[in-house]
């Protein structure tokens, strides 16, 4: 809660300094906090049913909410939107967490089938990245069953998220060799890369406080505009750097690292912790190359999954009865 409070507080500070609009950040923080609280409570009382229902709800939302698709201009390679792919990854992770939470073999088989259906549904929804992420989460969950310790697995997930975020930053800053940059620009599209470059320019303009939350899409005399922006650079780390400075980037990274730490200390089994970590890492990847965190359904879903994976199942014991 202290970390989420710091994220909200810093957005207010940077907004006050540059007449920004922190409502989007505050809404995302509120959605994560509410989702996490609901996940802790429901995961303690219903450790199997709650993530199972959440997985089905995630699939329904991904299939029925048109608001998850901002348009085709930035579609590749994430399908209609990074939010659709992220929601499918989270739903697959929730189904796989339910698999490891139940001791009933038949129910485990049915829940694995549900996870496979969610992963495959990405192709029908026009989100190949969602299918790939769902398949990766499902395979990681199967491998997690044979991992005796969770620390190494969580370290791999943290390294994956850091590698993707670092690569995006390197492409935007022009630090990579020309051939490698061109190879990466092709899949993501030149418009998206131009937005990333704009974010780096704005971050260099004021690395301390940024230009203010919600002000990335405004014309700037010192940073050339692509005229293609819909209000964000389609990369959460770069948006934080541009709008809230490097302190905002550190807070975003700290939030992800805290989730992995909470999973490492979670009382739930190692497969549950690693499965949730894989789904949340997939979200971090999509947030680095898209606008997944700009959708309340995604941020609330991330909080729910983290809550389910860190909840201590209630056994019915009441220690007060012994006093």
Q: Which residue has the higher pLDDT, 69 or 101?
A: 101
What tokens appear for 139 in the block? 């395979």
Alpha-carbon distance of 312 to 218, in angstroms, equals 46
Tell me which of 223 and 158 has the higher pLDDT: 158
Q: What is d(CA 204, CA 223) in angstroms, rounded to the nearest whole number?
A: 10
What is the arithmetic mean of pLDDT over 55-79?
69
Q: Where are the domains of the chain?
A: 2-313
What does each C-alpha distance from 160 to 73, 145, 283 come to in angstroms? 27, 20, 12
pLDDT grade for 18, boundaries at 50, 70 and 90: confident
pLDDT at residue number 44: 95
Tokens of 261: 């730490």
User: So what's the pLDDT on residue 192?
Assistant: 86
pLDDT digits (tens, 9 = 90+) for 242-295: 999 999 999 999 999 999 999 999 999 999 999 999 999 999 999 999 889 989
pLDDT of residue 315: 73
pLDDT digits (tens, 9 = 90+) for 56-65: 999 999 998 8
For residue 61, the model assigns a pLDDT of: 92
Which residues fall within 8 angstroms of residue 101, CB to CB, at 6 or more apart?
A: 47, 48, 51, 268, 269, 272
What pLDDT shows up at residue 68?
65
Check residue 182 and give its pLDDT. 83
pLDDT given for residue 323 in this prediction: 36
**Residue 127 reports pLDDT greater than 90:** no
Residue 109: which pLDDT band, with cuts at 50, 70 and 90? Answer: very high
Identify the pLDDT of residue 75.
46
Q: Give the pLDDT confidence of 186-209 residue by residue, as tens digits.
A: 778 788 888 899 999 999 888 889
- Quickly state the pLDDT bin for 104 (edges 50, 70, 90): very high
């Amino acid at each position: 809660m202290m970390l989420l409070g710091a994220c909200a507080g810093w957005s207010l500070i940077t907004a006050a300094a540059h007449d920004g609009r922190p409502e989007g950040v505050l809404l995302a923080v509120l959605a994560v906090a509410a989702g996490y609280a609901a996940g802790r409570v429901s995961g303690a009382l219903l450790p199997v049913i709650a993530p199972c229902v959440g997985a089905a709800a995630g699939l329904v939302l991904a299939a029925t909410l048109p608001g998850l698709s901002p348009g085709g201009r930035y579609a590749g390679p994430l399908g209609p939107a990074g939010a659709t792919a992220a929601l499918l990854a989270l739903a697959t992770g929730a189904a796989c967490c339910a698999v490891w939470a139940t001791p009933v073999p038949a129910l485990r088989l049915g829940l694995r089938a549900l996870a496979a259906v969610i992963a495959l549904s990405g192709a029908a929804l026009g989100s190949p990245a969602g299918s790939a992420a769902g398949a990766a989460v499902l395979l990681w969950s199967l491998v997690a069953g044979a991992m005796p310790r969770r620390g190494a697995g969580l370290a791999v997930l943290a390294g994956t998220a850091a590698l993707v975020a670092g690569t995006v930053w390197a492409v935007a800053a022009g630090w990579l060799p020309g051939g490698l940059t061109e190879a990466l620009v092709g899949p993501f599209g030149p418009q998206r890369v131009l937005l990333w470059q704009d974010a780096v320019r704005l971050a260099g303009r004021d690395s301390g406080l940024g230009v203010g939350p919600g002000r990335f899409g405004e014309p700037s005399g010192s940073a050339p505009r692509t005229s293609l922006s819909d209000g964000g650079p389609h990369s959460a780390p770069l948006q934080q750097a541009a709008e809230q400075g490097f302190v905002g980037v550190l807070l975003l990274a700290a939030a992800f690292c805290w989730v992995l730490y909470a999973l490492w200390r979670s009382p739930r089994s190692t497969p549950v912790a690693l499965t949730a970590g894989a789904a949340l890492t997939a979200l971090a990847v999509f947030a680095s190359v898209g606008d997944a965190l700009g959708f309340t359904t995604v941020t609330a879903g991330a909080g729910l999954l983290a809550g389910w994976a860190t909840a201590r199942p209630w056994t019915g014991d009441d220690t007060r009865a012994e006093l």
